[in-house]
Amino acid sequence: GNCLELKDLKKLPKNIDVTIFLIGKKGGPESLKIKNYKNYFKYNCETLIKFLDIEKINFQKKIIFFSTEHVYGDNTVIKNNNFNEQFPKNFYGSTKLFSEKILYYYWKKNKISIDIFRVPRIVVEKKKNLISDILYKIKKNRNIIINSQVKFHFVYIDDLIAAIEKSLLQLKK
């Protein structure tokens, strides 16, 4: 279904214990353009708001929310006497950070366990990515050019699944 459509949201099962919320629009060069902000807000924030507004969700024990490392921006933090605030560098990161804040207030109101995974790129075996490209070049005895200006963080899919499994077992934290 479509999490932006109330009729589809009403089709959810009545007794949900755990939700793994993966819905959203991913980043990339498009997330730097102001004309795309509404689209990022729609898919990364409105879907969560509508999902949380459904009365059935009160039966939940836990929400596992997938955010992104993009909320950190260039590790810029706005410091204030009362708080430290991340400063995302794109609209993908800013809308994911806003969704995290929505979940924080939802937790304060409902006391439902919420885990937020701020994941980087996910590396899957047999899918083209930076790691597979490096391995290919090693096998073919080709040069690997390293650009020290570009940072790349990643997590292996098996490690991510193990973390999700561990999170599922901790329903009261």
Query: What is the value of pTM for the model shown?
Result: 0.75
What is the per-residue pLDDT across 29-65, written as a single tens digit (0 to 9) for each?
888 899 999 999 999 999 999 888 876 566 678 899 9
**What b-and-e string marks burial along 136-164, b requiring 16 or more CB atoms within 10 Å of the CB?**
eeeeeeeeeeeeeeeeeeeeeeeebeeee
Query: What dihedral angle (degrees, nearest 10) is formed by the CA atoms of 159, 131, 31, 18?
Result: -10
Reported as a single tens digit per residue, the pLDDT across 123-139 is 566 667 666 777 778 88
Distance CA 71, CA 66 (A): 12
Would you give the DSSP letter of residue 7?
H
Question: What token pair was written down for 110?
Answer: 């409902």
pLDDT at 1: 73
Span 83-119, pLDDT tens digits? 667 778 889 889 999 999 999 999 888 888 899 988 8
